[in-house]
Amino acid sequence: MTAALPPYRRDGMQAHPPRDHAAYRSTALRHPKQPLLPLPHSMTELTQPMLGTGAIGELDHDLTQQHPGEPIGERIIVTGRVLDGNRRPVRDTLVEIWQANAAGRYIQKEDQHPAPLDPHFTGVGRCLTDNDGRYRFVTIKPGAYPWKNHLNAWRPAHIHFSLFGTAFVTRLITQMYFPGDPLFPYDPIMQSVREESDRQRMVARFDMETTEPEWALGYQWDIVLRGPETTPPDPDEDH
């Protein structure tokens, strides 16, 4: 039965951050001490739970409409396609995002840095891709925020993405960045992806076609789930 399931291309491992990245201190505690052994994909990896469409609310994709009032900040549209390792669209797949508000503050109680919360912004959204593999979110551009990795450490503005794809082997947790951010060279998380060409696959493209007059700036960002052009995964899922 396993033989009838589609094979998945191996990722281009150079796009993956190293498991232990000294500049990103907490990775020291979060990786296996032994070299990884590639195993053949079996039923466990080539299948996934069925995620029914009924679980997605009508406004789950619009983070600006989840409260009675509008959140503060720069309204943006973030859209793109989810593609497999052969650049074919991945349809009806769950895309989840979470992010800081316009002031760079997360709603989680663990985030206590001195920036305001926004009562009209939770910072969590989800949607399913359409027949072309396209997702679309309306949200607020997140602010940069400090973290305690080292003195004066600031994260570039980013949105966290989580995708299931078509099987557990296509599971991807990553971050989307905004073009031209001056914090890129100083961010150990982004720089843990070693090649500039791989890092660029995490940066969205400003797009005037997506931009809507009198409403919101638009960004395009395609996500590749497997293979040599895979979107680099997040070295850590907490930030």
Could you list the residues that contact Fe ion (CB under 5 A)? 239
106 an active-site residue?
Answer: yes
| Site of tokens 């840095």 | 113
CB of residue 99 vs Fe ion: minimum separation in angstroms? 7
Distance in Å, CB of 165 to Fe ion, minimum: 22
Residue 82 amino acid letter: V
Taking residue 1's Cβ as centre, other Cβ atoms within 10 Å add up to 5
Catalytic residue (choose from 24, 106, 177, 219): 106
Pick between residue 189 and residue 225 the one whose CB is nearest to Fe ion.
189
- Chain-centroid distance of CA 149 in Å reads 21
Task: Provide CB contacts within 8 A for 13, sequence distance 6+.
Answer: none
CA dist 149 → 26, 93, 191 (Å): 8, 34, 14
Q: Tell the smallest beta-carbon distance from residue 143 to Fe ion (Å).
A: 11
Nearer of residues 104 and 133 to Fe ion, judged by Cβ:
104
Instruction: Tell me which amino acid residue 37 is.
Output: L
- Candidates 120, 158, 201, 226; catalytic one: 158
Q: Which residue among 160, 199, 201, 226 is the active-site one?
A: 160
158 assigned to active site: yes
Phi then psi dihedrals of residue 198, to 5 deg: -75, -40
Question: Residues 8, 24, 135, 145: which is the catalytic one?
Answer: 145
Of all residues in the shown chain, the one whose CB is closest to Fe ion is 239
Q: CB of 152: closest distance to Fe ion in angstroms?
A: 17
The tokens describing 150, both together, are 């080292």
Instruction: Tell me which residues are annotated as active site.
Output: 106, 145, 155, 158, 160
